[in-house]
């Protein structure tokens, strides 16, 4: 399956954009359509399908036909009442037949005329377009869907890229809507689910539309998500002040910024978990076959677990309003730090971040946070049949737990490596049956930053072999596999290399990430000179910030989950970009000092 983030193309959807503009009269928002009921018209009524996966028993409201309604059948299909042949519409309620969960969001589509196209689609993608029909071309281009066809007529369940994007969009909107609902509840407001969803959708479309980058808009990037969350809080308050019910005397600018900083990392993990799970789905011969594949690979369970999560609401409830509304820069920095710790899933990181915030001398009188309350609200998505990240060894030193490693990023308690941080080994085990046979293929990403010099590398095929007891016995990058590099700082380069021979990354039950190996590839490709290579080589006393992640490869028979502990708690989401490729998977971040 093609990954839309890995294959950015120019959007050539002029015809699609023109069709949307003519259908919607160029207006904005879901109610922009000008169609009427059709009165005595003999035109056939609008027919279509509600997709998230399919919504059974949902209510479809035709806003251009005096709010006439219809109900979706067991496969999400609906037909407008007689005479309603031109209208925008919204979809609410019902049950997602993939997860079995009630649908609490809103799907929309801009005005459509019966008979002008095939049956219309209402999906998370058409919902984005309904917010800004005139910007449809840019929205689809930003999501990397230039080759996926017209979202108003193409069922996402028949297109892998569109399905991944649709489910990821819906997960992001759901998480942001849940945050708004939690804020409303905490402040005794009356924000409805529909109002929360609309505020979240508007913020997402605004962030996409205002993106100045030519690269696809990442739906799993923490910075992007922070912008969406902050914008959604502002939208909700602006559109319905009593619904959000801002704390007395609070600044909406400070409040929205603090909420975004506090929750973005956790939402990024939840969204990335869905995106990663969807990246390996093969579209079946029919929607029923696709649904069966989703369930068999555990994707629907991943989507359901994240959709049902109340972690961000619990985090917000654990923090006094006087802290959430603070305009003090040091407290705002502490909140951002706590958000990063919360997203890491590390109890050590959470405890350290809470301690730093509680020790802030500028904290409002009587305000403090319970580390226990925050730690217990950290989302612990449990997975089965996964690859376990069992530990980290730096330069052949003592093994470190993943909690220690994750905590180093937030608490500032750097890990110590004997020597110059030249070698990082990640121990892996197979738990259960995460794949078919003894060998599976994954994509791997590695990044490190040294004195402002950064190297990012993505390997598109690492073959992992496990023994009968689940221990790793081999890790190989086969001939023909590709490496993508980004280099910045002392040198600037973007390089893609094809392996001429196999590379061995195995060492004693671990994947061995050797800085020297990666630098030698760049040197051999003339991307770095000898002097530049020295600037990227860690020495004794150097501090290195590093990240590592794994994601299911397109060649894997099933989506392989990555777990951080023996009890199956999913590892945090980590995103690495090299060249035009972004790899979003599960893994670790760390700060290491060589001595």
pLDDT band at 544 (very low <50, low <70, confident <90, very high): confident
What is the total count of domains within the chain? Answer: 3
Instruction: Tell whether 96 is covered by a domain.
Output: yes
pLDDT digits (tens, 9 = 90+) for 279-320: 767 788 888 888 887 776 667 777 877 787 888 888 998 999
CB 474 within 8 A of CB 463: yes
Q: Is the Cβ–Cβ distance between 538 and 515 less than 8 Å?
A: yes
Which residue's entry shows tokens 């023994």?
A: 467
Residue predicted with more confidence, 551 or 460 = 460
| Closest to 183 in 3D by CA, of 234, 129, 127 | 234
Same domain, 102 and 196: no
Enumerate residues 6+ apart whose C-beta is below 8 A from 590.
392, 405, 406, 408, 409, 415, 545, 546, 547
pLDDT for the residue numbered 114: 59
Does 326 fall in a domain?
A: yes
Which contacts qualify for 207-212: CB closer than 8 Å, 24 or more apart?
207/231, 208/128, 208/138, 208/139, 208/142, 208/143, 209/132, 209/135, 209/138, 209/139, 211/142
Residue 78 domain flag? yes
> Is 7 within a domain?
no
Quick check: 122 and 54 in contact, CB under 8 A?
A: no
Q: Is the pLDDT of residue 566 over 70?
A: no
Domain-embedded: residue 75? yes
Q: Is residue 314 one of the residues assigned to a domain? A: yes
Q: Is the residue at 568 inside a domain?
A: yes
**Same structural domain for residues 244 and 341?**
yes
For residue 30, the model assigns a pLDDT of: 33
pLDDT of residue 40: 36
Concatenate the DSSP letters of all residues of 461-508 into one string.
EEEEEE-TTSBEEEEEE-TT-EEEEEEESSS-EEEEEE-SS-EE-EET
| Same domain, yes or no: 444 and 475 | yes
Structure tokens at 18: 């023109």
Confidence of residue 248 (pLDDT cuts 50, 70, 90): confident
For position 67, what pLDDT does the model report?
95
Q: Is the pLDDT of residue 223 over 80?
A: yes
| Least-confidence region, from 10-19, 288-297, 337-346 | 10-19
Are 189 and 259 in a shared domain? yes
**Res. 28 pLDDT band, cuts 50 70 90:** very low
Q: How far is CA 95 from CA 58, 119, 554, in A?
A: 7, 21, 30
Domain boundary residue, one of 311, 341, 376:
376
Percentage above 90 pLDDT, the chain = 38
d(CA 185, CA 442): 42
Half-sphere exposure of 111 (CA within 13 A, CB side): 24
Please list the residues that pair with 453 across neighbouring strands.
Answer: 450
> What does the pLDDT look like over 91-145, one tens digit per residue?
999 999 988 889 988 999 998 765 554 578 999 999 999 998 888 888 888 888 8
Residues 413 and 446 in one domain: yes
Q: Helix crossing, 222-239 with 252-278: angle to 10°? A: 130
- Identify the pLDDT of residue 213: 65
H helices of 99-221, in order, are 124-131, 136-142, 160-186, 193-209
Residue where a domain stops, chosen among 326, 354, 376: 376
Report which secondary-structure segment, H or E, holds 427.
Answer: strand 423-431
Q: Is the pLDDT of residue 551 over 80?
A: no
> How much is the pLDDT for 161?
87
Contact 32, 25 (CB under 8 A): yes
Q: Cα 524 to chain center, whole Å?
A: 35
Q: Mapping DSSP to helix (H, G, I), strand (E, B) and coil, where does residue 291 land?
A: helix
23 and 58 both lie in a single domain: yes
What are the pLDDT digits (tens) for 40-95? 344 678 889 999 889 999 999 999 999 999 999 999 999 999 989 889 999 999 99
For 97, phi and psi rounded to 5 degrees? Answer: -75, -10
Tokens linked to 516: 């020297």
Alpha-carbon distance of 365 to 376, in angstroms, equals 25
| Contact by Cβ (8 Å): 58, 72 | yes
522, pLDDT greater than 80:
yes
What pairing do the DSSP bridges indicate for beta strands 573-578 and 581-594? antiparallel
Which residue, 179, 165, 393, is CA-closest to 267?
179
Lookup result for tokens 């005794």: 188
Cα–Cα distance, 186 to 240 (Å, whole number): 16
Same domain? For 370 and 516 the reply is no
Task: Give 26: exposed, middle or buried? Use CB within 10 Å, 0-12, 13-18, 19+.
Answer: exposed
Q: Kindly report which listed range (72-86, 195-209, 277-291, 555-569) carries the lowest average pLDDT score.
A: 555-569
Shared-domain flag, residues 330 and 236: yes
**How many of the other CB atoms lie within 10 Å of CB of 224?**
21
Does residue 512 register a pLDDT over 80? yes
Phi, psi of 564 (to 5 degrees): -100, -5
pLDDT band at 10 (very low <50, low <70, confident <90, very high): very low
Of 5 and 111, the one with more pLDDT: 111
Residues 394 and 356 both lie in one domain = no
β-strand partners of 584: 575
**Using CB atoms within 10 A of its CB, is residue 101 exposed (0-12), middle (13-18) or buried (19+)?**
middle
Structure tokens at 33: 């359509």
Terminal alpha carbon distance of the chain: 45
> Regarding predicted confidence, which is higher, 15 or 465?
465
Q: What is the pLDDT of residues 250-275, one digit of tens each?
A: 999 999 999 999 999 889 888 887 88
Structure tokens at 77: 């299909």
pLDDT at 382: 60
Average pLDDT for the chain? 81
Residue-level pLDDT at 570: 65
Say whether 3 sits in a helix, a strand or coil. Answer: coil
Domain that holds residue 507: 386-594
- Predicted local confidence at residue 568, as pLDDT: 61
Dihedral angle computed from the Cα positions of residues 281, 285, 289 and 291, in that order, rounded to the nearest 10 degrees: 50
Instruction: Please answer whether residues 11 and 148 qualify as being in contact, where contact means their C-beta atoms are separated by less than 8 angstroms.
Output: no
Domain boundary among 325, 358, 376: 376
Residue 333, C-beta contacts closer than 8 angstroms, at least 6 positions apart = none
The residue with greater pLDDT, 552 or 349, is 349
Whether residues 398 and 428 fall in one domain:
yes
Q: What's the pLDDT band for 197 if we cut at 50, 70, 90?
A: very high
Structural tokens at position 380 = 């612990």
Average pLDDT over residues 376-384: 66
pLDDT score at 32 = 31
* Residue 246 DSSP SS3: coil
Closest CA to 307 of 18, 103, 47: 103
Three-state SS at 240: coil
Task: Please tell me the distance from the alpha carbon of residue 583 to that of residue 576, in angstroms, as a whole number.
Answer: 5
pLDDT band at 565 (very low <50, low <70, confident <90, very high): low
* Whole-angstrom Cα Rg for the chain: 25
Read off the pLDDT band of 18 (50, 70, 90).
very low
pLDDT value of residue 307: 82
Phi-psi category of 471—alpha, beta or left, where left has phi over 0 and alpha has psi -120 to 50? beta
State whether 407 and 475 are in the same domain. Answer: yes
Q: At which residue do the structure tokens 């009968």 appear?
A: 468
pLDDT at 25: 29
In a domain, 1, yes or no: no
Q: What value does the mean pLDDT take over residues 448-464?
A: 91
Same domain, 38 and 137: yes
């Amino acid at each position: 399956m093609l990954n839309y983030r890995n294959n950015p193309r120019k959007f050539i959807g002029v015809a699609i954009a023109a069709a949307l503009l003519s259908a919607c009269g160029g207006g904005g928002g879901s109610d922009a359509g000008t169609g009427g009921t059709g009165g005595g018209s003999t035109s056939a009524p609008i027919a279509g399908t509600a997709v998230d996966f399919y919504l059974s028993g949902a209510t479809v409201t035709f806003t251009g036909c005096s709010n006439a309604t219809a109900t979706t059948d067991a496969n999400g299909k609906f037909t407008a009442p007689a005479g309603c042949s031109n209208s925008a519409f919204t979809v609410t309620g019902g049950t997602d037949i993939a997860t079995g969960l009630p649908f609490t969001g809103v799907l929309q589509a801009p005005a459509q005329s019966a008979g002008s196209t095939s049956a219309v689609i209402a999906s998370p993608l058409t919902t984005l377009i309904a917010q800004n029909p005139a910007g449809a071309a840019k929205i689809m281009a930003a999501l990397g869907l230039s080759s996926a066809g017209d979202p108003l007529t193409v069922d996402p369940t028949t297109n892998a890229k569109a399905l991944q994007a649709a489910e990821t969009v819906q997960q992001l909107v759901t998480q942001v809507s849940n945050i708004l609902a939690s804020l409303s509840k905490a402040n005794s407001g009356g924000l409805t689910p529909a109002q929360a969803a609309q505020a979240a959708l508007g913020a997402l479309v605004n962030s996409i539309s205002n993106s100045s980058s030519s690269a696809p808009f990442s739906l799993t990037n923490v910075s992007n998500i922070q912008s969406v969350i902050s914008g959604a809080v502002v939208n909700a308050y602006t559109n319905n002040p009593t619904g959000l019910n801002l704390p007395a005397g609070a600044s909406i600018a400070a409040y929205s910024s603090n909420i975004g900083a506090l929750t973005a990392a956790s939402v990024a993990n939840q969204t990335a978990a869905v995106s990663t799970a969807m990246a390996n789905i093969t579209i079946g011969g029919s929607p029923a076959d696709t649904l069966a594949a989703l369930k068999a690979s555990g994707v629907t369970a991943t989507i359901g677990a994240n959709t049902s999560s109340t972690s961000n609401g619990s985090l917000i409830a654990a923090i006094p309003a006087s802290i959430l509304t603070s305009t003090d820069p040091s407290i705002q920095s502490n909140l951002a730090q706590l958000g990063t710790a919360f997203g890491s899933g590390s109890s050590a990181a959470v405890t350290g971040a809470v301690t730093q915030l509680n020790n802030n001398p500028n904290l409002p009188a009587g305000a403090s946070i319970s580390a226990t309350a925050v730690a217990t609200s950290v989302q612990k998505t449990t997975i089965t049949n996964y690859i376990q990240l069992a530990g980290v060894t730096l330069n052949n030193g003592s093994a470190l737990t993943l909690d220690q490693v994750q905590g180093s990023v937030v608490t500032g308690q750097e890990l110590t490596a004997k020597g110059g941080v030249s070698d990082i080994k990640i121990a892996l085990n197979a738990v259960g049956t995460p794949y078919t046979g003894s060998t599976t293929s994954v994509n791997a990403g590695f990044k490190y930053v040294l004195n402002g010099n950064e190297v990012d590398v993505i390997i598109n095929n690492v073959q992992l072999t496990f023994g009968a007891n689940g221990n790793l016995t081999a890790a190989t990058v086969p001939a023909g596999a590709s490496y993508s590099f980004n280099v910045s700082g002392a040198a600037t380069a973007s390089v893609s290399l094809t392996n001429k021979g196999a590379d061995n990354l195995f060492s004693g039950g671990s994947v061995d990430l050797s800085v020297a190996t990666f630098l030698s590839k760049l040197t051999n490709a003339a991307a770095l000179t000898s002097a530049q290579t020295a600037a990227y080589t860690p020495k004794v006393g150097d501090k290195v910030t590093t990240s590592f992640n794994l994601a299911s490869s397109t060649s894997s028979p099933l989506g392989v989950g990555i777990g951080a502990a023996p009890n199956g708690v999913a590892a945090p989401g980590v995103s690495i970009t090299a060249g035009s490729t972004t790899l979003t998977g599960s893994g670790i971040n760390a700060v290491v000092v060589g001595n």
